[in-house]
A and B are shown apart, each in its own frame.
Chain A
Amino acid sequence: MADPSSKLPTWVDVGLLPLINVALAFVVSGLLIAALGQDPFEATWIMLRGAFGYEESLGYTFYYTTNFIFTGLAVAVAFHAGLFNIGGEGQAYIGGLGVAIACLALDQYLPFGLLLPICILAAALFGAGWAFIPAYLLAKRGSHVVITTIMFNFIAASLMVYLLVNVMIKPGQMSPESREFTSNAWLPYMHEVLGWFGWEVAQSPLNLSLLWALVCCVLVWGLIWHTRWGYEIRAVGANADAAVYAGISPSKIIILAMCLSGALSGFVGINEIMGVQHRLLLDFAAGYGFTGIAVSLMGRNHPVGIILAALLFGALYQGGAELAFENSAFSPDLIVVIQGLVVLFSGALSYMLRGPMERLYLRLSPGRLVEG
């Protein structure tokens, strides 16, 4: 969401201001930790060590990062079309359902090599399908996409409970979970893969999904900035009237962007269901969709920024868990608070410092104002 009226040079607008906003979020978090009677610097140190300090923690950090890249990209793609897809949560959930259905149906028959592309496709199709309905309703009937995607998050939650309790539950079992897939439907863990190359690392849930997430970053980057479809998506997002003038159909673009966004969210299912859980269960997508909003805002809707922001949140998740483990005064909820503050400062209050920055910049370098 670049602001064309900005008088600041790009490096301040895209680099410095977002950094200051994130820093503000962390300063406030630090003050909060201090207010709770803890030492914020010590907490930071524990979190950093917990996130990056040893192989296993790194694995966990990257595993969380993988999910955030998917949901962050999902929010970003919709943003470029001027849409706020707040339904990443539900789309990720349903994406996982797609993966599970594919695995449960085919794991007896197909080898991993065939199963993987089918599962990726299933995740994309199911995620996209869940985003398609709100998108269609917006494109054809003008329904507010924020509200419909929120509603679809709740509908997805109810649907999954129903399916798991009544349909997909493993017979003779109490907890609402499907049967475990056979191991040919398991995405290899990173420690296994690295082991094949003779590099022994500690076990962690990190799996090959991370590579797919990075591939998706490249694909999204290419799509948005280097294809005509990306051009059309950005045109609709920046100026729908001009897009219509250019012969671009906003309805089609809305549906395209939302479906892409839903598909990207759906890939959370690859990481979680195929990569880690190896069965379908409840609430595996909890929080990832919403964190995607923070990731995308912080990353300025650009894949590079999203990777960095996803890494930050991955580290926060893992470091926060470590912190809660070491110091019972904290719970993993600290991370949720920091996340909220990041969304607040990087998103809602992102214009707050622009005015003061513009004045400061003008005073420091008179005459260098970009002509408006």
Chain B
Amino acid sequence: MTVAGGATSSGTGHPAPAIQLRGINKRFSPVHANRDVNLVVPAGTIHGIVGENGAGKSTLMSILYGFYQADSGVIEVGGQVCPINSPEDALAAGIGMVHQHFMLVDVFSVLENILLGAEGGPLLAPGMAAARKEIARLEADYGLEVDPDALVGDLAVGLRQRVELLKALYRGANILILDEPTGVLTPQEADRLFEILRAMRDRGVTVILITHKLQEIMAITDNVSVMRAGQMVAHRETAQTTREELAELMVGRKVLLRVEKSVAAPGDALLRADGLSLIDAAKVTRLDGVSLDLRAGEIVGIAGVTGNGQSELLEVLSGILPPSRGRFTVHDRAIDQDHPCTPEEMRDLNLAHVPEDRQRMGMISAFAAWETAILGYHCDPAYTGPILLKTNAIIDDTDGKMARFDVRPADPQLTSDSFSGGNQQKLVLAREIERQPDILLVGQPTRGVDIGAIEFIHQQLIDMRDAGCAVLLVSVELEEILSLSDRILVMFEGRIVGEVAAADADARIIGLMMANAHEKAETEGAAAHG
């Protein structure tokens, strides 16, 4: 394993690298997001940077783009030391960036968005005329067709991304950073994007591609750098490496989260969903005909790339959103658009929900821990009399929960945000699990949680299952899905695209399913090897 500052094989005598980073450090008070990061990106190549969620890739690129300033370290562009303190500096140095969340103004036309910041003079008209011509040229050169007069808000995601690319190219970027560009794209759109990126490389543009998807790295990059826990752990020439090696480098010597568990003995289906669909306010289909059974005594894992409908599935099943079409039953209660069920009623049906994002939903930062510990159950007669809350009873109850779930510091009076992520999650979990629900919906149970707490949380979920609870587990951590689930469903674009029994589960197959490419890849793979 090479952990080195230099590129592995960029050779000598070649032109200066497009980008060279030396000893970049960045801290966000408790988190060391980038630690002594070195990187060399040869000019005119597509360079991949891979790593798991939270490995520090996005922070590094934000530093390169001047959005954050590094605490220490040197940035060189084209062989020259180039202090970048703002996006303005980055743009001046020829660096453009396509952010994961597009930086577009929805009510502006494509043309206006491209012009923003590069208007070409105090009046818009001359700049607009020039921009039209230039955009037409860029469109032809790179195959970036998009109507310059369309409102960005009306465009599909793939087209918005093209606008972002055009923005960067229009400003003369010859180094382009793309942050998880395919996270929101369909496979076809992603293929189109890759063609465009190749066209760019052929015209001398240097592309830096940040992703956590290995198939993309293999498909399009020339070189790849791997990040893990804020550090750069390896640089490879793509042709000289394999997915397996990269996967290993990405995950490192991370303890394999093997959880001791017996074979499940599933009972009756407690929750049945039949053709659930959800269409949001923007008329986008978020869930598309989801059907599933959740049986007592089993953990069903939902795998998928973020944003493929998992969050919406949890929100529909927990009563936060009514389904637009289809129905589901919890015990014997049927729920559909005309017969919605509030989260409160769901709790009465003995369904508990650990939400994906505890900061946003699972707790209230400003509330004392004892107040967060009854969120959703605050009308329970154990916690409230006809008028007054039984504060003392709640605090005693929270004391017990904190002791049993090892929440530290065990002080119910502290505000919820003064606990670490793991302790917050344990508090939320205690709240939901101690009700002994029949059905437990869990989203990202270990996001932002330290290793010690992860094991504890996983054990709790297994214990729930063994006690006969039906558990639905949503996680973007494939490892977690694989180690906990008895059955795995894979979601893609709001649909369930595959089901695998735990015994047959294979990370590779599931990974392909998550990209909805398993059948295609299987056949292609067979053709290539055959």
Check whether chain A touches chain B (CB < 8 angstroms): yes
Within 8 A of A (CB), among B359-375: 360-367, 371, 375
Please encode chain A, from 214 to 257, with 1 for each CB lying within 8 Å of some chain B CB and 0 for all others: 00000000100011100110110011011011110100000000
Residues of chain B with a CB closer than 8 A to A372's CB: 29-30, 417-418
Known pairs A228-B384, A247-B343; A235 contacts B360 (CB<8 A): no
Measured CB to CB, the nearest residue on chain A to B384 is A228
The one of B353, B365, B388 in contact with A4, judged by C-beta atoms closer than 8 angstroms, is: B365
Known pairs A244-B320, A245-B353; A227 contacts B360 (CB<8 A): no
Question: Does A247 lie within 8 Å of B367, measured CB to CB?
Answer: no
Does B8 belong to the interface (CB within 8 Å)?
A: no
Known pairs A242-B375, A245-B376, A247-B347; A4 contacts B361 (CB<8 A): no
Residues of chain A with a CB closer than 8 A to B343's CB: 244-247
The docked-state distance in angstroms from the alpha carbon of A372 to that of B414 is: 12
Question: Does A242 lie within 8 Å of B363, measured CB to CB?
Answer: yes
The docked-state distance in angstroms from the alpha carbon of A245 to that of B342 is: 9
Residues of chain B with a CB closer than 8 A to A242's CB: 360-364, 375
Residues of chain B with a CB closer than 8 A to A232's CB: 378
Known pairs A227-B388, A228-B384, A247-B342; A235 contacts B379 (CB<8 A): no
Which of B318, B344, B389 counts the most A-chain CB atoms under 10 A from its CB?
B389
Does B415 belong to the interface (CB within 8 Å)?
A: yes
The docked-state distance in angstroms from the alpha carbon of A281 to that of B222 is: 83
The docked-state distance in angstroms from the alpha carbon of A226 to that of B389 is: 5
Which of A231, A239, A244, A246 counts the most B-chain CB atoms under 10 A from its CB?
A246
Does A35 belong to the interface (CB within 8 Å)?
A: no
Question: Does A246 lie within 8 Å of B365, measured CB to CB?
Answer: no
The one of A222, A226, A238 in contact with B366, judged by C-beta atoms closer than 8 angstroms, is: A238
Measured CB to CB, the nearest residue on chain A to B360 is A241
Q: B352: shortest Cβ distance to chain A, in Å?
A: 12
Known pairs A234-B367, A242-B363; A370 contacts B418 (CB<8 A): yes
Question: Does A4 lie within 8 Å of B389, measured CB to CB?
Answer: no
Residues of chain A with a CB closer than 8 A to B365's CB: 4, 238-239
Which of A232, A234, A235, A247 counts the most B-chain CB atoms under 10 A from its CB?
A247
Question: Does A238 lie within 8 Å of B364, measured CB to CB?
Answer: yes
Residues of chain A with a CB closer than 8 A to B391's CB: 226
Question: Does B362 lie within 8 Å of A245, measured CB to CB?
Answer: yes
Q: B350: shortest Cβ distance to chain A, in Å?
A: 14
Known pairs A242-B361, A372-B30; A4 contacts B378 (CB<8 A): no
Does B129 belong to the interface (CB within 8 Å)?
A: no
The docked-state distance in angstroms from the alpha carbon of A372 to that of B27 is: 14
Residues of chain B with a CB closer than 8 A to A228's CB: 378-379, 383-384, 389
Does B96 belong to the interface (CB within 8 Å)?
A: no
Does A371 belong to the interface (CB within 8 Å)?
A: yes
Does A2 belong to the interface (CB within 8 Å)?
A: yes
The docked-state distance in angstroms from the alpha carbon of A108 to that of B360 is: 57
Residues of chain B with a CB closer than 8 A to A226's CB: 388-389, 391
Residues of chain A with a CB closer than 8 A to B29's CB: 372
Q: B367: shortest Cβ distance to chain A, in Å?
A: 7
Please encode chain A, from 1 to 20, with 1 for each CB lying within 8 Å of some chain B CB and 0 for all others: 01011000000000000000
Q: B398: shortest Cβ distance to chain A, in Å?
A: 14
Measured CB to CB, the nearest residue on chain A to B419 is A371
Please encode chain B, from 374 to 410, with 1 for each CB lying within 8 Å of some chain A CB and 0 for all others: 0110110001100111010000000000000000000
Q: A117: shortest Cβ distance to chain B, in Å?
A: 20
Question: Does A227 lie within 8 Å of B367, measured CB to CB?
Answer: no
Does B355 belong to the interface (CB within 8 Å)?
A: yes
Residues of chain B with a CB closer than 8 A to A234's CB: 364, 367
Question: Does B344 lie within 8 Å of A4, measured CB to CB?
Answer: no
- A-side interface residues, number (CB < 8 Å): 23
Question: Does A222 lie within 8 Å of B388, measured CB to CB?
Answer: yes
Question: Does B367 lie within 8 Å of A245, measured CB to CB?
Answer: no
Question: Does B366 lie within 8 Å of A245, measured CB to CB?
Answer: no
Residues of chain B with a CB closer than 8 A to A249's CB: 342
Known pairs A232-B378, A245-B355; A371 contacts B418 (CB<8 A): yes
Residues of chain A with a CB closer than 8 A to B320's CB: 244-245
Please encode chain A, from 106 to 147, with 1 for each CB lying within 8 Å of some chain B CB and 0 for all others: 000000000000000000000000000000000000000000
Question: Does B376 lie within 8 Å of A247, measured CB to CB?
Answer: yes
The docked-state distance in angstroms from the alpha carbon of A153 to that of B510 is: 61
Measured CB to CB, the nearest residue on chain A to B30 is A372
The docked-state distance in angstroms from the alpha carbon of A2 to that of B353 is: 28
Please encode chain B, from 332 to 359, with 1 for each CB lying within 8 Å of some chain A CB and 0 for all others: 0000000000111111000001010000
The one of B353, B363, B389, B417 in contact with A231, judged by C-beta atoms closer than 8 angstroms, is: B389
Question: Does A4 lie within 8 Å of B375, measured CB to CB?
Answer: no
Question: Does A246 lie within 8 Å of B30, measured CB to CB?
Answer: no
Within 8 A of B (CB), among A332-372: 370-372
Q: A361: shortest Cβ distance to chain B, in Å?
A: 15
Question: Does B417 lie within 8 Å of A4, measured CB to CB?
Answer: yes
Q: A166: shortest Cβ distance to chain B, in Å?
A: 44
Q: A315: shortest Cβ distance to chain B, in Å?
A: 32
The one of A2, A222, A239, A247 in contact with B344, judged by C-beta atoms closer than 8 angstroms, is: A247
Known pairs A226-B388, A227-B388, A371-B418; A246 contacts B376 (CB<8 A): yes
The one of B375, B383, B387 in contact with A246, judged by C-beta atoms closer than 8 angstroms, is: B375
Residues of chain B with a CB closer than 8 A to A231's CB: 371, 378, 389
The docked-state distance in angstroms from the alpha carbon of A228 to that of B320 is: 20
Residues of chain B with a CB closer than 8 A to A371's CB: 30, 418, 420
Known pairs A242-B364, A247-B342; A235 contacts B375 (CB<8 A): yes
Residues of chain A with a CB closer than 8 A to B355's CB: 245
**The 8 A-B residue pairs with the shortest CB-CB distance in the complex, in nearest-first order:** A247-B344, A247-B343, A246-B376, A4-B365, A245-B361, A239-B364, A238-B366, A246-B375
**Other contacts beyond A242-B363, A371-B418: 15, CB < 8 A:** A4-B365, A4-B366, A5-B417, A227-B384, A228-B379, A238-B364, A239-B360, A239-B361, A242-B362, A244-B343, A245-B343, A246-B344, A246-B378, A247-B376, A371-B420
Q: Could you list 27 A-B pairs, sorted by A, with CB under 8 Å?
A: A4-B366, A4-B415, A227-B389, A228-B378, A231-B371, A231-B378, A231-B389, A234-B364, A234-B367, A235-B364, A239-B365, A242-B360, A242-B363, A242-B375, A244-B320, A244-B343, A244-B361, A245-B361, A245-B375, A245-B376, A246-B343, A246-B375, A246-B378, A247-B319, A371-B30, A371-B418, A372-B417
